Chains A and B, each alone.
Chain A
């Protein structure tokens, strides 16, 4: 979709998202918003006054663009072995096509950071858990590698570390035999920086991703979600995802 054929909805979306300059500039959402830009001190626990979330404007997501996926791989040190069936993918691009109308969409799919995460429900040891601020993580110290969370995740968002790992990223210590997934870049968020995918989407893509606190009325994401229709994937399961989509 070209920049010249913005839908009215999209125009409104842009306005509501604290102005088009903020949307197009790389990584400015978090910086523009008051609360998320504040780094959380290491000795402070997360608290439930924050609910981190993402909004994806699928109208802006380009089918050819993989900036979010590439950035995630680099940030998290996901070095593939050329084995697509077993290589880890924290975020992937999904292409949608409605067979009857020919309508197509492209969107990034990752852990949806649910309020009611089925992965955490089924995990026998409690290794899969949700932080107070809504980020769903795997505690790799107590993950036994049973993969029941992968069976339970409605979004196919998790990967299993199938082999020995080398050259790991310092901020994402992985372990062979453990399950892993998108952490919403918790290490960056805690430091007051937006997730790598969001940053890349704004820097290299078309700024289709908006990050912020879904409970903070001053955050652009909260305002947009309050004003415009957004979808939750598999809303029927009542997982209450922290990732919302606009345009599907």
Chain B
């Protein structure tokens, strides 16, 4: 590989500035929404004593899970030795940090007492998977920062496989921890399953890769950096594999639950008669977010940067739907306190809980996305995260030769 020249983004470009202003605006709106919810109290949101985690948690979990997956590209280059990914590895690590920051910001701003963040950082109940996650998240920042330093320092870049491997293992544990937040909830029929951990790992790979692809395509477009197809072809295949794995584990989650006599009803609720949740599962998560992207990425005739971008957007939408079905759908299903009885109370026992996301919750979630992308934009404007060109000849010296060979083969045929 030729020695690539890395360069900061042109922060004076109109497109960059416009994007930066939009993102900053969305972030500020998100902050305003959080202030409104905290000031008024959570009764102004759609969240209740029945559905205690709402839209902020959908966004936060999505972003945190995606953060882990965004590090894929760096892991593949450092851990699995695929040097072709090296030029885009630093951006992948930056995106991972940014997405985690965005997700955690949403999570923290939705706390009943966000002012007590220091309490969360100083009082640990080590029996709690939540407390373990606080350590995993903060550790992730430290480890990925060191890993980034190794990748970006000329003297250290050849030794980055060590920190890269550590970061790779850490992020698998991190996603396991995030999945276990739900997996360990023994009382709730929709959760309490060991499948949640591998499911969340697969989700992270798919969502993180999709967002990485979108960021890479956007940055190259607005900063006019050539982008060949050698890298995007590989990312396309990766995305397809991860989307398929996520769908497989999502189905496995329901199949294993359906096999358990007491959980048939909650499976039927999500898959057959759950109204919005059934629609989101089949229509958005499985249809728009799985089948469509698989077609767009696997059908040879459809291969292009535009379809790859479109497929990635669909994976993100499908991922948000999947997270919504898991988090909100799981709470909407009532707890079974008295098996065999029909129950009724003033506290909504025994009925499917309703939840209507409020605008401030959605704005806070979007604010988290905006914060993540702002960090990426800011980071790329001040540091050299990406080469000036990702043209095929620069990335892979043999690309041209291979292309000519394949053209000759076609002509001969």
Q: Residues of A with Cβ closer than 8 Å to B?
A: 81, 83-89, 92-99, 105, 109, 118, 120-127, 142-148, 150-156, 158-164, 175-179, 233-234, 237, 248
- Assess the A99–B342 pair: CB atoms within 8 A: yes
A142 and B38 contact, CB distance less than 8 A: no
Look across to chain A and name the residue whose beta carbon is closest to the beta carbon of B347: A92
Q: Which of B111, B338, B344, B348 is within 8 Å of A145, CB to CB?
A: B111
* Complex A-B: 19 CB contacts under 8 Å: A92-B347, A92-B349, A94-B343, A98-B340, A105-B341, A120-B125, A122-B185, A142-B116, A146-B111, A146-B112, A146-B130, A147-B112, A150-B52, A156-B349, A160-B49, A178-B113, A233-B337, A233-B338, A237-B187
- CB-CB under 8 A from A142, the residues of chain B are 116, 119, 123
User: Chain B 22-58 against A: per-residue CB contact (8 Å), 1 yes, 0 no?
Assistant: 0000000000000000101111000011101100000
Q: How far is the CB of A147 from chain B (nearest CB, A)?
A: 4
Q: Is the CB of A118 within 8 A of B187?
A: yes
**Residue numbers in B under 8 Å from A97 (CB-CB):** 341-344
CA distance A140 to B155 in the complex (A): 51
B317 to A: closest C-beta gap in Å: 26
Q: Are A179 and B112 in contact (CB under 8 A)?
A: yes
A-B interface, 8 closest residue pairs, ranked by CB to CB distance from nearest: A145-B112, A177-B112, A154-B187, A163-B41, A124-B130, A85-B48, A162-B43, A125-B123
User: Most B CB atoms within 10 A — which of A88, A176, A179, A248?
Assistant: A176
Question: Judging by beta carbons under 8 Å apart, are A89 and B346 in contact?
Answer: yes
B12 surroundings in chain A (CB, below 8 A): none
Q: Which residue of B lies closest to A93 (CB)?
A: B345
Whether B346 lies near A84 (C-beta < 8 A) is yes
Once A96-B338, A154-B335, A155-B337 are accepted as A-B contacts, the answer to whether A109 and B345 lie under 8 Å apart by CB is yes
Within 8 Å by CB of B117, from A123, A144, A154, lies A144
**What residue of chain A has the Cβ atom nearest to residue B186's Cβ?**
A237
In terms of DSSP, what is the predominant structure of the interface of chain B?
A: loop
Partner of A151, one of B185, B342, B343, B345: B185
In angstroms, Cα B286 to Cα A150, docked, is 30
Q: Is the CB of A85 within 8 A of B348?
A: yes
B338 touches A162 (CB 8 A): no
A88-B49, A151-B331, A163-B43 are contacts. A121–B342 as well, Cβ < 8 Å? Answer: no
Alpha-carbon distance between A120 and B126 when the two chains are bound, in angstroms:
11
| Cα separation A145 to B49 with both chains bound (whole Å) | 12
B353 smallest CB distance to A (angstroms) = 9
Q: Which residues of A contact B335 (CB under 8 A)?
A: 154-156
Provide the bound-state CA to CA distance between A145 and B43, in Å. Answer: 14
Chain B interface: which size bin?
A: 35 or more
Question: Is B120 an interface residue when CB atoms closer than 8 A count as contact?
Answer: yes
Known pairs A92-B346, A95-B345; A147 contacts B337 (CB<8 A): no
Contact of A118 (CB < 8 Å), options: B42, B181, B186? B186
Tell me whether A122 and B184 are in contact (CB under 8 A): yes
Say yes or no: is B129 at the interface (Cβ < 8 Å to chain A). Answer: yes
Instruction: Return chain B residues, CB-CB under 8 Å to A95.
Output: 343-345
Complex Cα spacing A85 to B345, Å: 12
Is B124's CB within 8 Å of the partner chain A? Answer: yes
List residues of chain B with CB within 8 A of the CB of A88. Answer: 49
Tell me, yes or no, whether B127 is within 8 Å of chain A by CB. Answer: yes
Would you call B131 an interface residue if the criterion is a C-beta within 8 Å of the partner chain's C-beta atoms?
yes
B361 to chain A, nearest CB (A): 14
Q: Complex formed: what's the CA distance from A83 to B348 in Å?
A: 13
In the complex, whether B128 has a CB less than 8 A from a CB of chain A is yes
Contact, CB under 8 Å: B112 / A121: no
CB contacts under 8 Å to A, within B335-366, are: 335, 337-338, 340-349
Is B134 part of the contact surface with A, judged by Cβ < 8 Å? Answer: yes
A207 to B222, CA, bound (A): 75
Given contacts A145-B111, A150-B49, A160-B42, contact A94 B186 (CB under 8 A): no
Beta-carbon contact of B349 and A144 below 8 Å? no
Also in contact, A176 and B128, with CB within 8 A (given A86-B42, A92-B345, A164-B41): no
Contact A162 B337 (CB under 8 A): no
Q: Does B7 contact A (CB under 8 A)?
A: no
Beyond A124-B134, A125-B125, A155-B337, whether A94 also contacts B116 by CB under 8 A is: no
B193 smallest CB distance to A (angstroms): 15
- Minimum CB–CB distance for B260 against chain A, Å: 13
Option from B41, B111, B134, B341 in Cβ contact (under 8 Å) with A162: B41
In the complex with contacts A97-B341, A147-B52, A177-B120 CB distance below 8 A = no
Would A160 and B112 count as touching, CB distance under 8 A?
A: yes
Chain A residue with Cβ nearest B341: A96
**In the complex, which residues of chain B have a beta carbon less than 8 angstroms from the beta carbon of A120?**
125, 127
